[in-house]
Amino acid sequence: MKSCDEMVDSLLERREKYVLARTRKRKRTARILSVCCMCLAVGLCTVVLIVKDSLRSVSGNNELPIVSFYADIDMYPQYPLPSAGEIRMTYRLECAVKEYGSGALYRIYIDILDGDKVLPADSEIVKAELERLSENGYDVSVENYTIMDAEYSGVVALVALEQLESFDANDNYGYYIHLHDECIPPNLLPDPIA
């Protein structure tokens, strides 16, 4: 059995070790916390950059939304076919442009007509047109899509308002432009107005 003095000595020794261990633990905790905060900050920055990048790759511009449909219309107007060198936009596209203006990008289909026929996307003329528009800074490509088991392909583009308003038409062909999600297959185009 310990005497009082022995117990007091033992207590004071234990207290010293306890204080030392607690100081070490606090330093370790502080180090771990600072590492965790740094990792969290790095992780957050990475996520933000990835999200920004993905938005940029979709929109081409990390600030503007993309408009591909305009639903606020309860009518299906008939359009005269564009003649050579003429550009005709659908009513929905015109409404979308009126609403969003330069505050959005527009995903569109471009039908290239030779007379009253829509040229197939895989034709030489359309390929040449795609190349010409690309060289002029338009983001264009060919897209294949299916409607009611029928397969189609068309020219799609992602354009800003300026590019729409100053669309560089070839004088030999007519251009019929509509919003991507209101796409109408060429053989379902309305008959030209007499």
Partner 1 sequence: MDNGADSYRRFLEGDDKGLSEIVELYKDGLILYLVGYVNNIYVAEDLTEDTFFRLITKKPSFSGKCTFKSWLYAIGRNVAVDYIRHESKCISTPLEDIENGASEEYDLECAYIKEEGRMKVHRAMRELSADYKSVLWLVYFEGFSNTETARIMRKSERQIRNLLYRAKQSLKTKLEMEGFTREKL
Point out which residues bind partner 1 (CB under 8 A). 1-2, 4-5, 7-8, 10-12, 14-15, 18
Chain position carrying tokens 């905790």: 29
Shortest separation between residue 26's beta carbon and partner 1, angstroms: 15
Task: Kindly give the pairing relationship between strand 174-179 and strand 87-89.
Answer: parallel
For 179, how many CA atoms within 13 A lie in the half-sphere containing its CB? 20
Shortest separation between residue 32's beta carbon and partner 1, angstroms: 23
Q: Which is nearer to partner 1, 5 or 162 (CB)?
A: 5
Shortest separation between residue 45's beta carbon and partner 1, angstroms: 42
Q: Which is nearer to partner 1, 15 or 27 (CB)?
A: 15
Q: Which is nearer to partner 1, 8 or 30 (CB)?
A: 8
Give the span between the Cα atoms of 128 and 159, in whole angstroms.
19
Shortest separation between residue 31's beta carbon and partner 1, angstroms: 24
Q: Is the dihedral of CA 46, 49, 55, 59 positive or negative?
A: negative
Contact 62, 156 (CB under 8 A): no
Contact 150, 76 (CB under 8 A): no
Shortest separation between residue 33's beta carbon and partner 1, angstroms: 24
Q: Which is nearer to partner 1, 14 or 56 (CB)?
A: 14
Give the span between the Cα atoms of 31 and 35, in whole angstroms.
6
Q: Which is nearer to partner 1, 1 or 193 (CB)?
A: 1
